Structure 1
């Protein structure tokens, strides 16, 4: 929960309007992908955003650059290291963690024989049949809409006097996300697969500043909404 000095005046009205429209609040991280959810931030004790690179010291980390990983090595079907394209290998003492992005994570796993069983996949033997690898990828479109405030003196947007204090800048300039499914009459235009249709999402965020919309200055006169369309492609 945000402290009072971090609470924007629009925070509670935005939540109230969504509830009046029938948007059901989500009950925390319960697996539900639709409804009204509070955007979370990682904050330290001083209420400053706390990204992972500041939370975990890197003094004992050996960073290797300009290297290509061929595959994950999995003795006894447990990922314990990687094999590089020059033939060298790196072995973990406890576990191996992959973080090479939405495209390369499944690619590297399948090159390592971890993924959906497919005998014709370049002759790579399957060591772990995992049908979910390479699936559930979403295309992410985003559209911003700006709204002029009736009275900029209400201090609702960035660069208002109430935003001069350092506390509002210790986090993101929004508080809620509303996620809904696309109406069936819309989703049927791009797929007839009912399973895919059920997985589309249409999130809307109210932002208390402008995300660099051309022609509109960031001068406390506007706020914006960002509407995203998450379409499953696999």
Structure 2
């Protein structure tokens, strides 16, 4: 089967759905979107709190596991990724963050021309339909609905009131002038209480276009190359092998695990590794699959001094009523997330930007629905996990075989850099201070893990090795950069191959200090202009928007005013 399109997009995830919409907006351009998974139409996907079940459902995810982690006692970590329309945006926790302005200025300093904060801010605004309305930092007419977490029953106020006493700022908007502190979280949920994945926000409105074809259940085997030019793709679909050809470009949107895998299956990657697996190298690119970065997560859990956790909402009859209320009205406790507060803070006062996020949830992560009088109700607990926003450790992705149906070998390699242990230990100490400071202290019972008795360097390091996980935010394996060694150039074109781009989180040269779905959507919005040859949106000067001490609330020796790095 041979069919020809102007653009072929591989992967209908956070980036692929955006590109399908933007590229097919021109009726003269034929666009093919290819997805290995299936439909996203399921109530667990649509209902915000359903993500806790959907995320681990093999019907919706690639069942990926890391290789034995060399610095985590050889443990293998679960790292599932979305395998359906919308990709991981259809199964993630919907947390919306952009990252700090310095994250993007750093990209520019690394040679990524056009990716400074001033350059990307207009695209963040373009994609957003914010509950805040339009303003210097936000848009109100984009496809992506962003709503605040409804914090009823989530013990938001005690943490916000504790911030200043514990030595930290609060901020009304982490994406505004004050980019650090304790804040209410925001979610990609529409005004009807449904998940706003990229499949819902971008792809669904474009499905009626006759020039857009969406192929699901189609596993891409390789990029078809004619010399050093991408000519199309080969896929398996409905039991047959098919080829589709691209007049203009092939665009890989498989994410940080699948995009490098597909490049290597196509002969683009570390030549020695490819030869070992019987793949003839077309282009020796040693950095394909390297530079993998993830946000490590270290569990810190407390018992509750009062029975006020979200477990109260999981009584069987309340769950039934909440699901019914959500289905009829889009409201209630199942129409939002379970997050008390989103602290984005510094572990040291000399840092130019925050390096820690606290995963503050008023519920245990293994919470179960319970029926009065049947079995035992679980103990009321809260989580305050430490997340490293800028880890120094890097991992890698390689092939297990030349078979496209075999999942890649993924070594996260977290905590390979000793400095990450130091940051994690400081984070645990900070969490302990916060949760033992009033008024939050009035709700905090005994420390379950790591356990208050663990205070020494060696003890905490051993705890981290035995318990650390990740937040499912992989980036960097097809990184863009100004160096000839980088996989992609700042236009997201694969160096050395014409007509081939990568547009997803794998092109990020460093990991943003944020949940990565938002930055990935921004990248796709900007990529659409690059692909179509349009002038980029006008940059907005971040110097005019920088924060000042008078715009913060509270005082903090651990949260000094932001220092903006000069661009190289």
Identify if the C-alpha distance between structure 1 residues 36 and 200 changes in structure 2 by more than 3 Å, giving closer, same or farther.
closer
Query: Which of residues 156, 159, 176 is equivalent to 2:312?
Result: 159
Identify if the C-alpha distance between structure 1 residues 105 and 21 changes in structure 2 by more than 3 Å, giving closer, same or farther.
farther
* Residue 396 of structure 2 is aligned to residue 208 of structure 1: no
Residue 91 of structure 1 is matched in structure 2 by 245
Residue 143 of structure 1 is matched in structure 2 by 299
* Residue 185 of structure 2 is aligned to residue 39 of structure 1: yes
1:8-39 C-alpha deviation (Å, 9 max, x unpaired): 46213312323443434463179x6x644543
Residue 233 of structure 1 is matched in structure 2 by 394
Partners of 2:301 and 2:271 in 1: CA distance: 48
Identify if the C-alpha distance between structure 1 residues 45 and 223 changes in structure 2 by more than 3 Å, giving closer, same or farther.
same
* Residue 152 of structure 2 is aligned to residue 7 of structure 1: yes
Partners of 1:14 and 1:8 in 2: CA distance: 13
Relative to the length of structure 1, the TM-score reads 0.59
1:83-139 C-alpha deviation (Å, 9 max, x unpaired): 459985323577655343432323334555777xx776754326xx89696324226
1:195-216 C-alpha deviation (Å, 9 max, x unpaired): xxx99954311112221169x9
Identify if the C-alpha distance between structure 1 residues 68 and 156 changes in structure 2 by more than 3 Å, giving closer, same or farther.
closer
Residue 134 of structure 1 is matched in structure 2 by 290
SS of residue in 2 equivalent to 1:106: helix
SS of residue in 2 equivalent to 1:16: helix
Partners of 1:80 and 1:29 in 2: CA distance: 43
The number of aligned residues is 209
SS of residue in 1 equivalent to 2:256: helix
Partners of 2:222 and 2:283 in 1: CA distance: 14
SS of residue in 1 equivalent to 2:261: helix
Higher helix fraction (1 or 2): 2
Checking the alignment, whether the CA contact within 8 Å between 1:180 and 1:201 is kept in structure 2 is: yes
Residue 191 of structure 1 is matched in structure 2 by none
Checking the alignment, whether the CA contact within 8 Å between 1:111 and 1:124 is kept in structure 2 is: no
Partners of 1:130 and 1:170 in 2: CA distance: 45
Partners of 1:3 and 1:177 in 2: CA distance: 11
Query: Which of residues 251, 258, 264 is equivalent to 1:104?
Result: 258
Higher strand fraction (1 or 2): 1
* Residue 196 of structure 2 is aligned to residue 50 of structure 1: yes
1:152-211 C-alpha deviation (Å, 9 max, x unpaired): 3xx55342599975411101110433345666xxxxxxxxxxxxxx99954311112221
Structure 2 segments unaligned to the other structure (5+ residues): 1-130, 132-146, 275-280, 326-331, 369-375, 396-568
Partners of 2:168 and 2:226 in 1: CA distance: 46
Partners of 1:29 and 1:110 in 2: CA distance: 40
Residue 339 of structure 2 is matched in structure 1 by 174
Alignment RMSD (CA, Å): 4.9
Partners of 1:134 and 1:88 in 2: CA distance: 30
Partners of 1:132 and 1:125 in 2: CA distance: 11
Checking the alignment, whether the CA contact within 8 Å between 2:342 and 2:360 is kept in structure 1 is: yes
Deviation at 1:147?
2.4
Identify if the C-alpha distance between structure 1 residues 169 and 84 changes in structure 2 by more than 3 Å, giving closer, same or farther.
closer
Structure 1 segments unaligned to the other structure (5+ residues): 184-197
Deviation at 1:4?
9.4
SS of residue in 2 equivalent to 1:205: strand
Residue 69 of structure 1 is matched in structure 2 by 221
Partners of 2:192 and 2:268 in 1: CA distance: 43
